[in-house]
Structure 1
Amino acid sequence: MLMKLWFVLFLLVAACGRAVPDNARIVIAGDSIMAWNRSQGGAVAQQLEPRLGEQVGDVSLAFARVSGGQGPLNIANQLANVRADWIVLNGGANDLGRACGCSGCLPALRRLVSENGTRGDIPELVTQLRSRGAKVLWVDYYTAPRFAGTRCDTLYQTFQNRLQRMALADAGVVVLDLDTVFDPDDLRLFDRDRVHPSLAGSRKIAQEIARVIRPRL
């Protein structure tokens, strides 16, 4: 009972600051990588606004999943009825972690995105967002220090390859690979849990998102 109460309180705190202003042209969705540091004013969306000079909506939430999850803990639900020029989102780690950790994950991965990138819950969500007129920036995960050099590396590389194939089919979809800018040996980019971004890490993610979006606004 105490654990359940703690979880509810955590979600209430984590949800503070989630909103989509009426004129927001960019909306951030996804899991804790996007939502981390919100209570300190340093989540990805909060650090992206001054870099683009635009209001940025933020519906991301820790523990959110692509497949399953109730209410805002489902990433598609976060974006229900949201319309924007750009939807920036991530997801999948909580799905894989819940289903299989980093071993024997091909069925769970296939449910997220097929080998050729055309089927699965992620391509379906991206297609829905594109049908509303949004460009989509999918932010792929970095390698966290806790998982560097483990069997998780291979799984997430396979995940990234499938996402890249998805993006190749549509010029309005971009995949941003955070592994290109996050060094797992640079602990300044990571929180004390060695998984989530520090304030500097969230800033780095915001910088990379701005680099992709700014020329296309």
Structure 2
Amino acid sequence: MIRITLMLVALAALFGCGEPVAQGSAARILLLGDSMFATNRASNRAVADVLEAELGQEVLDRSVFGARYFHPLPLTGAAGMRLESQYREGDWDWVVMNGGGNDLLLGCGCSLCQGVLNRLVSADGRSGTIPAHVARIRASGARVVYAGYLRNPGMGTPIKHCGPAGNELDRRLALMAGFDAGVTFVPMADLVPYRDTSYHGPDRIHPSVKGSQGIGARLAAVMKSKDRPETKRRSRR
């Protein structure tokens, strides 16, 4: 009964609605993802806002609460958006992405998830829904940064049992990124210090303002390190 109650709390948090906010037609950075990116947007302190401040560039934020790759949700509209449908053709320099957590939580309850993991990305990182989606984006010439999920080390949370599946997803995404110099996987599993509650909101699922700041700052640092003309030329197909 406790497990079921905790799962319902997690689902309620994940199903919050939020429409994507276009942040300017001149943007050369596109952000796609789920609630880890979309949280704190109402106060202009979401991950996209941090990226804009850190990089000094506009970001088009299309992340949506409840976004997933393939697991059906009992919702319509933005909160049920599929991650692949968030992408828009454009002359993007960077596409920053996350996703897969809702598929693991809702598709297999974060346990016995081998089948869902394989649909997302194969054990060797070469195939699956995520590599196919990334490959389509890379074909446009844009560089891709794929972010992992935050963890809550030393704390109990409604989705604590998702840790092993999340770790395996991280491992596979890192392998995927290793096959293309234009793709970078940025883990977030080590971002939160042990028993530090300040990186998450009260639900202990979504990032606090500090959490969004930490995620955005880490992504921006990686993008800055790779944003050299010679690196950009080599990474484009």
Deviation at 1:48, TM superposition (A): 1.4
Deviation at 1:216, TM superposition (A): 2.7
**2:116 paired residue among 108, 115, 121:** 108
Runs of 4+ deviating beyond 3 Å: 68-72, 144-151
In structure 1, what residue type is equivalent to 2:49?
A: Q
Q: How many residues align?
A: 208
The aligned counterpart of 2:214 is 204
- Output the CA distance in 2 between the equivalents of 1:183 and 1:204: 12
Deviation at 1:185, TM superposition (A): 1.4
Q: TM-score, normalised by structure 1?
A: 0.88
Residue 153 (1) aligns with residue 156 (2): no
Would you say the 8 A contact 1:42–1:199 is kept in 2?
yes
Deviation at 1:46, TM superposition (A): 1.0
Would you say the 8 A contact 1:90–1:140 is kept in 2?
yes
The aligned counterpart of 1:85 is 93
1:110-137 C-alpha deviation (Å, 9 max, x unpaired): 1000000111100000000100111000
The aligned counterpart of 1:175 is 185
CA spacing shift, 1:80–1:146, aligned 2, 3 Å: farther
What SS is found at the alignment partner of 1:178?
A: coil
1:8-53 C-alpha deviation (Å, 9 max, x unpaired): x952xx11x6115222121111000000001111110012111111
1:49-82 C-alpha deviation (Å, 9 max, x unpaired): 1111111110000000022567751111000324
**2:149 paired residue among 111, 132, 141:** 141
In structure 2, what residue type is equivalent to 1:27?
A: L
In structure 1, what residue type is equivalent to 2:84?
A: A
Deviation at 1:152, TM superposition (A): 2.3
The aligned counterpart of 1:65 is 68
In structure 1, what residue type is equivalent to 2:100?
A: G
The runs of 5 or more residues in structure 2 that have no matched partner are 1-11, 228-237
- Output the CA distance in 2 between the equivalents of 1:91 and 1:184: 24
- Output the CA distance in 1 between the equivalents of 2:108 and 2:71: 15
Deviation at 1:157, TM superposition (A): 1.1
The aligned counterpart of 1:3 is none
- Output the CA distance in 2 between the equivalents of 1:56 and 1:134: 14
Deviation at 1:184, TM superposition (A): 5.2
In structure 1, what residue type is equivalent to 2:48?
A: A
The runs of 5 or more residues in structure 1 that have no matched partner are 1-5
Would you say the 8 A contact 2:158–2:205 is kept in 1?
no
Q: TM-score, normalised by structure 2?
A: 0.81
Moved more, 125-134 or 66-75: 66-75
Once superposed, what is the RMSD of the aligned Cα atoms? 2.3
What SS is found at the alignment partner of 1:141?
A: coil
What SS is found at the alignment partner of 1:180?
A: coil
- Output the CA distance in 1 between the equivalents of 2:185 and 2:157: 21
Deviation at 1:215, TM superposition (A): 2.9
> How high is the sequence identity, in percent, across the aligned residues?
35
